[in-house]
Homo-oligomer: A and B are copies of this chain.
Amino acid sequence: MTELEKLGMAAKSAERQLAVAGTQKKNEALEAIRLALIASKERILSANAIDMANAEKSDLKKSFMDRLLLTSERIDAIADAVGEIISLPDPIGEVVSMSDRPNGLTVGKRRVPLGVIGIIFEARPNVTVDAAALCLKSGNVCILRGGKEAINSNKELVNIMRDALTSAGLPADCVCFVSDTSRESARELMSLRSYLDVLIPRGGAGLIKAVVENASVPVIETGKGNCHIYVDSTADLEMAAEILENAKCSRPSVCNAVETLLVSSEIAADFFKLALPRLEKHKVELRCDERSMELIGEKAKPATLEDWDTEYDDSILSVKLVDTMQEAIEHISRHGTGHSEAIITKDYTNSQRFLNEVDAAAVYVNASTRFTDGGEFGLGAEIGISTQKLHSRGPMGLRELTSSKYIIYGNGQIR
């Protein structure tokens, strides 16, 4: 039996106990975790210091180092997030539907945990606690496998959570941790069908692709976001410029930021006059098709075919003129990743058509794509944004971490 199989067995043995634990017990464990995180700041920070020192030696990118870094304030924020999860309603046990059949059977559909959830993520120690807390609240055992650069921070965080679980009377194995960060262990986790009900990759495109291609465990794909804004010929151009600036510049590195602007050729010249100064302010690099290049001039670079399929996650925007809404919808259908797409329009028919025909997790009329987020949609905290159509699409909150079972009350019925 491999180490991972042992971990899988430990997870399975905790699964049933957690599934029937009840909201109060789960909240007590979460509160114990929250308090322990705050009380153990020093331990966490010194473990994180080792990771940071190792990372510096490896000459990693600044943005990477920033995501890896923990500070006293960041630990507070992590603990606060656990507090928020405590305050969210428990989805488990909710009976979604129940009705009597003609033969007298009462058939109900009850929300239950998925079971054991594997989470593969990169070197962001905040994800370790966040994911564990969301799984715990939704009655799911988690098996966490974080990036090797955060191994010391993660080990410490997991130990703190496991101790807190025990103190609250739940099995420590409600939170399992893969300490082997080799590629082989990742591969093995992806095939751990006997123990894992679902695998959720959280991280960059490379990680998600690797998981999707190699996993035999069911996977929920998250986070690919090549998002578009289409400025219709009837748009309120001032509103369009404000939304574009927000969607591109408020946080360029996230998946719900816009990557491509599609502009109706009828209003493109007027729109650019309003929009370009806003983008220049944030030093956004423009990559343009021929026609928009003519209007924008030398400030822009010519777009290559590749640009239309690129999620920059950076202060770069590709720009294309379209003559009809049909053209915009077709461009989105060909190049979009099904994350978030927006139309800015004053026209009723166009707004409805865009909502109907664009196939994405979130389709917007006259609002920024940046709202695609569990908190913004009223789901509370989220474990990720699904860009696949199976199980769950869009922001995934606690409910999306559940399955269902039919419960049937009879009095001797046979068929």
**A interface residues with partner B (beta carbon < 8 Å):** 16, 19-20, 99, 101, 105, 107, 112, 114-115, 193, 197-198, 212-213, 216, 218-220, 236, 239, 242-243, 245-247, 250, 333, 355-357, 359-368, 370-372, 376-378, 388-391, 393-394, 403-415
Contact B413 A367 (CB under 8 A): yes
With a cutoff of 8 Å between Cβ atoms, the chain B residues found around residue A193 in the complex are 212
Q: How far, in angstroms, from A371 to B408 measured CA to CA in the complex?
A: 9
Whether the pair A412, B243 counts as a contact (CB closer than 8 A) is: yes
Partner of A415 from B356, B371, B414 at Cβ < 8 Å: B371
CB distance from A84 to the nearest CB of B (A): 16
One complex includes copies of this chain to the number of 2
- B16 near A362 (CB under 8 angstroms)? no
Q: How far is the CB of A380 from chain B (nearest CB, A)?
A: 13
- Known contacts A363-B406, A412-B367: does B16 contact A197 (CB below 8 Å)? no
CB atoms of A414 and B250 under 8 A apart: yes
- Contact check, B246 vs A414: say whether CB atoms are below 8 A apart: yes
Query: What separation, in Å, do the CA atoms of A352 and B332 have in the docked complex?
Result: 50
B388 pairs with A218, CB closer than 8 A: yes
| Closest-CB distance, A337 to chain B (whole angstroms) | 12
* Nearest CB of B to A205, in Å: 14
Say yes or no: B365 contacts A415, CB within 8 Å.
Answer: no
Give the distance in Å from the alpha carbon of A391 to the alpha carbon of B333 in the complex.
Answer: 24
With A368-B413, A413-B371: A355-B407 Cβ-Cβ less than 8 Å: yes
| A107 cross-chain contacts in B, Cβ below 8 A | 377-378
Q: In the bound complex, do residue B213 and residue A216 qualify as a contact, i.e. CB atoms below 8 Å apart?
A: yes
Whether A390 pairs with B393 at a CB distance below 8 angstroms is no
Which residues of B are found within 8 Å of A372, using beta-carbon distances?
406
Contact B213 A370 (CB under 8 A): no
